[in-house]
Structure 1
Amino acid sequence: MQAYNFKQAQAKLSELCQLLLDSVAQGASIGFLPPLNPADATSYWQAIISDLQAEQRVLLVALDADQIVGSVQLDLPSKANASHRAEVQKLLVHSQFQRRGIAQQLMHELEAVVQSHGRWLLVLDTRQGDKAEWLYRKLGYHEAGVIPNFARSADGEIHATIMFYRELAH
């Protein structure tokens, strides 16, 4: 696991796009619907790279032989009343590397990064019924509530999302 700065992310833009394209093609509920246009994937990652440069976001990547196989992001709100919390976003693991504990490793590393930024409350959401829901529960996240009819899937069905939080030692 490695935290990437904006220069590292820019250098690996193609790999980050491939990870996003693979995740969307596999049905991940991360704000995009398949088929994702590669230009849209590039635009998305360029916006994330800008956030990295502004130090408003942290990007952690999982590597296999220097190839990006997973990532997770941490949004760091800049508002004065939010300096204790952060939002977990877009936990992705390439389909060829799933079921190897990579997502869990990324989340554990993310928790260490959160604390290094002086924050101790993590929030996130995931589509109800996804395998990520099970992972977050396993990692000690608590359900805050369910929002019905939150996100559309590729088949047109609309799904609920579950909001989770976790308080770390502080």
Structure 2
Amino acid sequence: MTATIRELDGAEALARVDEMADVLRDCVEGGASVGFMLPLAPGRPEAFWRKVAAGVAAGERHLFVAEDEAGRVCGTLSLVVDMPDNQPHRADVAKMLVHRRARRRGVAEALLRAVEAKAGALGRTTLVLDTVTGSDASRVYERLAWQKVGDIPDYALMPDGALCSTTYYVKRL
């Protein structure tokens, strides 16, 4: 699979809510702890992505998607730039989601590289993210020189309700 990485504006994000909701649904149903619990309430993924699209339109975040050969969204990653006044140099990286059909094909790495490039272009020099401790995503971050700064035990729940630890990472650009 060859994925194309694109940044979406607010209108494009709103137009692709259903595709991004499909990716989110697939990740949660596959066991990813990304802020949602099973069973997913009808319309919950779509509502989440509509809120993200509004944040993109407001300039609070930048949204990147990976598109498969058919042009369908198979991955997402956001750069959240709406920071407090004393953190104009920082941004959060959020919602790395890759559909199970597109995993282990470089999609996550390509999304992360695009977000890092955007952050650099915006003058953001400190990036922060978190992920489930020991997850596949953590291996991607570490391979791309993200520094592990610590684990928080019992930080969140897996979609089935089991507790999980979270690892925080930082990258200085």
Which TM-score band applies after superposition, normalised by the shorter structure? over 0.9
Is this contact kept in 1: 2:89–2:126, CA < 8 A? yes
Q: What is the Cα deviation at residue 38 of structure 1? A: 3.4
Q: Deviations over 1:116-170 (max 9, x none)?
A: 11111110001112111111111101111111110112343211101100001xx
Q: What is the Cα deviation at residue 115 of structure 1? A: 0.9
Is this contact kept in 2: 1:121–1:166, CA < 8 A? yes
Q: 2:11 aligned with 1:7, yes or no?
A: yes
Q: What is the Cα deviation at residue 29 of structure 1? A: 1.1
Is this contact kept in 2: 1:24–1:35, CA < 8 A? no
Q: 2:70 aligned with 1:71, yes or no?
A: no
Is this contact kept in 2: 1:21–1:38, CA < 8 A? no
Q: 2:41 aligned with 1:49, yes or no?
A: no
Equivalent in the alignment of 1:39: 43
RMSD in angstroms over aligned alpha carbons? 1.1
Equivalent in the alignment of 1:88: 93
| Structure 1 residue identity aligned to 2:147 | H
Is this contact kept in 2: 1:17–1:38, CA < 8 A? no
Equivalent in the alignment of 2:137: 132
TM-score (norm: length of structure 2): 0.93
Q: What is the Cα deviation at residue 57 of structure 1? A: 0.5
**Ranges in structure 1 where 5+ consecutive residues have no aligned partner:** none
SS of 1:147's equivalent? strand
Is this contact kept in 2: 1:27–1:34, CA < 8 A? no
Q: What is the Cα deviation at residue 60 of structure 1? A: 0.3
State the structure with bigger RCO (CA 8 A, min sep 6), 1 or 2.
Answer: 2
Aligned equivalents of 2:157, 2:52: Cα separation in 1 = 23
Q: Deviations over 1:48-91 (max 9, x none)?
A: 11101110001000111211111101110342211101000010
| Structure 2 residue identity aligned to 1:120 | T
SS of 1:150's equivalent? strand
SS of 2:45's equivalent? helix
Q: 2:66 aligned with 1:62, yes or no?
A: yes
Q: 2:31 aligned with 1:27, yes or no?
A: yes
Change (3 A) 1:147 1:51: same
**Ranges in structure 2 where 5+ consecutive residues have no aligned partner:** none
Equivalent in the alignment of 2:125: 120
SS of 2:43's equivalent? helix
Aligned equivalents of 2:142, 2:126: Cα separation in 1 = 16
> What percent of counterpart residues are identical?
35
Aligned equivalents of 1:30, 1:154: Cα separation in 2 = 8
